[in-house]
Amino acid sequence: MSLLVCENIVKEFGGEENRIAVLKGVSLSLEKGEAATILGSSGAGKSTLLNIIGALDPPSSGKVYLDGEDLYALNDRKISALRNRKLGFVFQLYHLMAELTALENVLLPARIMGHEDAKARARAKELLCAVGLKDREKHFPAQLSGGEQQRAAIARSLINSPELLLADEPTGNLDRKNSENITELLVKLQKEMGFAMLFVTHNRELSSLGRTLVLQDGTLSEAGGKDNLTTPKI
């Protein structure tokens, strides 16, 4: 069974006067432990799709199945529980809590789950080490560079051992060198830890991560697939 299946996702915004269809029938499946890049220009609907997959915003129509479970058929409490247990998120803006240290930020999702015990602390330290922030545990976000803040955010996204990591333009705020380093780090962690990952970017140079899918004109297709023989204009 696939970890993630999206069936004919449609997402419209606006009312009768100004309705726009951002996603016009997106289908996708991702296996356990598989990585894919979703490439699309600004405004293509990448964040909209990731928010739907991430159980943050329901589609106008279509289905999302996570581990065979029809996501939006669940009640809100079950959706939140599933989000906390199975999904990890990394965003362009790191969204670290300014008043918490790097270690406390990484521990936050475990605390929300009620698991802030010695085991979680040890795991948080291990993750900070894995992302190259071993000596930065006690630093606050303002004391870290952009690349370091994103590393802390990546460690935080992995503390509850997600099955699927959703990374929405995680390098969008970083210079070229840091972008490459963060991308390489995500690839390394994904291989080592075996979670599945959807990596969203508008930067074609970063699209070497797993399968490449192109989001264009509200539909998603495999890059180089028969639907997409021409190079997308991005």
22 binds ligand ADP (CB under 6 A): yes
Q: Position 148: which residue type? A: E
Distance of CA 41 to the CA centre of its chain: 17
Window 26-85: residues binding ligand ADP (CB under 6 A): 40, 42-48
CB of 198 to ligand ADP, least distance (A): 13
> Measured from the CB of residue 51, what is the shortest distance to ligand ADP in angstroms?
8
Q: 65-72: long-range contacts at Cβ-Cβ below 8 A with a sequence spacing of 24 or more? A: 65/2, 65/4, 65/5, 65/6, 65/7, 66/3, 66/4, 66/164, 67/1, 67/3, 67/163, 68/1
Instruction: Give the nearer residue to ligand ADP in terms of CB position, either 46 or 151.
Output: 46
Measure Cα distances from 230 to 24, 42, 182, 224, 226 in Å.
20, 19, 29, 8, 9
Task: Give which of Mg ion, ligand ADP, none residue 48 binds (C-beta under 5 to 8 Å, depending on kind).
Answer: ligand ADP
- Partner from ligand ADP, Mg ion, none contacting 53, C-beta within 5 to 8 A by type: none
Write out the two tokens for 198.
């959807």
Tokens of 216: 């264009």
User: Min. distance of Cβ 20 from ligand ADP in angstroms?
Assistant: 7
Check residue 47 for interaction with Mg ion (CB under 5 A). Answer: yes
The residue ranges that bind ligand ADP (CB under 6 A) are 13, 22, 40, 42-48
The residue ranges that bind Mg ion (CB under 5 A) are 46-47
